[in-house]
C-alpha cells in the first residue's frame, strides 16, 4: 500500500488514522492488557487479538489490506511502546532521531534496509527513542512503513535524512 504525502495543511486520511490510533492507545480507558499485548508482539508472530479489537472498535473501519497489516501493527506497537504522548504531530522523525543521539550509521542502515529487515530496524529505532523519552510524528513513520513505490519511498527517506541533518548537533 502506498500513501502519498499530504499536499495541504489539512490532515490527510493517513494522519487522521494515525492520530485516532494514538488517541485510542493513549486513552485511560484503553485496557492495559491490550497495550501490553501490542508491546509484546514481534514481526513474524501472529497478530494479537488486541490489534483487531483496537482497529475494529476504536478506528471503526474495515481492517487494513493484508499487505499493509504488518505496517499498521508496527505503528500500534510503536504507540504502545512510546507511551500516551509518543505521537507528536509536526515533529519530524529525523529531528527526534538527531536530537536523541541516534547514530548516523544506524540511520543509514534503517533507510537502506531491504523489506525483510526494515521492521526490525524500525523497532530498534523506536525503542531507542522510547528509552530517551522522545516524541515524534508517527504519520511520517506510517509513510515510511506503508510506501512500496521506490520513488516515493526515496522521497520519504530524503525528508527523514534532511530533518536528521538539520537538527544534528553541530560539532566543530
pTM, entire model: 0.90
Q: Where are the domains of the chain?
A: 13-167
Is 131 exposed, middle or buried, given 0-12, 13-18 or 19+ CB atoms closer than 10 A? exposed
Confidence band, pLDDT 50/70/90 cuts, at residue 3: very low
pLDDT above 60 for 39: yes
Instruction: Note whether 84 and 46 are within 8 A (CB).
Output: no
pLDDT above 80 for 9: no
Number of other CB atoms surrounding residue 116 within 10 Å: 8
Confidence band, pLDDT 50/70/90 cuts, at residue 136: very high
Question: What mean pLDDT value characterizes the chain?
Answer: 92
Instruction: Note whether 23 and 167 are within 8 A (CB).
Output: no
pLDDT in tens, 46-77: 999 999 999 999 888 899 999 999 999 999 99
To the question of domain 13-167 being in CATH 1.10.520.40, the answer is: yes
Judged by average pLDDT, the poorest of 1-10, 103-112, 150-159 is: 1-10
Better pLDDT: 170 or 144: 144
> 122 is written with which cell numbers?
524500525
pLDDT in tens, 65-119: 999 999 999 999 999 999 989 999 999 999 999 999 999 999 999 999 999 999 9
pLDDT above 70 for 4: no
- Specify the pLDDT at position 16: 94
Determine the Cα–Cα distance for residues 25 and 15; give it in Å rounded to an integer. 15
> 101 is written with which cell numbers?
543521539
Nearest to 70 by CA among 1, 13, 152: 1
Amino acid at each position: 500500500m502506498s500513501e502519498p504525502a499530504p499536499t495541504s495543511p489539512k490532515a490527510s486520511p493517513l494522519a487522521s488514522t494515525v492520530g485516532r490510533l494514538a488517541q485510542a492507545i493513549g486513552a485511560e480507558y484503553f485496557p492495559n492488557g491490550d497495550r501490553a499485548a501490542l508491546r509484546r508482539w514481534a514481526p513474524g508472530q501472529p497478530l494479537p487479538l488486541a490489534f483487531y479489537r483496537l482497529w475494529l472498535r476504536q478506528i471503526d473501519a474495515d481492517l487494513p489490506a493484508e499487505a499493509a497489516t504488518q505496517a499498521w501493527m508496527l505503528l500500534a506497537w510503536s504507540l504502545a511502546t512510546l507511551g500516551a504522548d509518543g505521537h507528536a504531530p509536526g515533529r519530524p522523525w529525523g529531528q527526534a532521531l538527531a536530537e536523541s543521539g541516534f547514530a548516523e550509521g544506524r540511520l543509514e542502515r534503517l533507510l537502506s534496509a531491504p523489506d525483510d529487515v526494515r521492521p526490525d530496524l524500525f523497532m530498534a529505532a523506536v525503542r531507542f527513542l522510547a528509552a530517551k523519552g522522545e516524541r515524534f510524528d508517527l504519520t511520517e513513520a506510517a509513510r515510511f512503513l506503508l510506501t512500496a513505490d521506490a520513488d516515493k519511498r526515496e522521497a520519504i527517506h530524503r525528508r527523514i535524512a534532511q530533518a536528521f541533518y538539520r537538527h544534528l548537533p553541530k560539532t566543530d
